[in-house]
Amino acid sequence: MSNSALATALFEACRERGIMVATAESCTGGMIIAALTDIAGSSAVVDRGFITYSNEAKVDMLGVRASTLDVHGAVSRETAIEMAKGALARSRAGLALAVTGIAGPGGGSAEKPVGLVWFGIGLDGETVTVEHRLFADKGRDFVRQETVKRALELGLRALGQRQADGAAP
């Protein structure tokens, strides 16, 4: 499914459930919230997007602990969890999609290569679901587009929705 179709499916799932969505984005720089706000009527389900590219923004806007960033780094399970929790706590959303990763072309290391992305999916009142992916290093745009796609898929999964083709997300 295309990112546009996934965004529409997530929009409909949120609308049916009566919940709003917020994003906490680092490596995508707002591409997830943009995919959602491209949909006419998106104000019915989109609350806000936090673009927290720098560590300072993660701390200031989402309440990510500086100690988490110092110990685990911005691209980590722990940071993704705190980003999702922060987005839920600082919005009216019932669903938060958080992403932090290394889109490239530089910035990677042996431990955290280009293409590594951590996802934190928060549903109000539930434990944050965390996943990481190592996308192929096929360029910055590829990593970012694949990150948007997976975040939308994970949002649908969190809401218990099936993708339009009938396959489980």
**pLDDT score, position 161:** 60
The answer to whether 20 and 45 have CB atoms below 8 angstroms apart is yes
For each of the domains in the chain, give its residue range(s) and CATH number, in order of start: 3-158 (3.90.950.20)
pLDDT < 50 positions in the chain: 162-169
Classify burial at 134, counting beta carbons within 10 Å of its beta carbon; exposed 0-12, middle 13-18, buried 19 or more: middle
Six token digits for residue 92: 């009216």
Cα 29 from Cα 25, distance rounded (Å): 6
Return the pLDDT at 115. 98
pTM for this predicted structure? 0.94
- pLDDT tens digits along 10-39: 999 999 999 999 999 999 999 999 999 999
Residue 164 pLDDT = 39
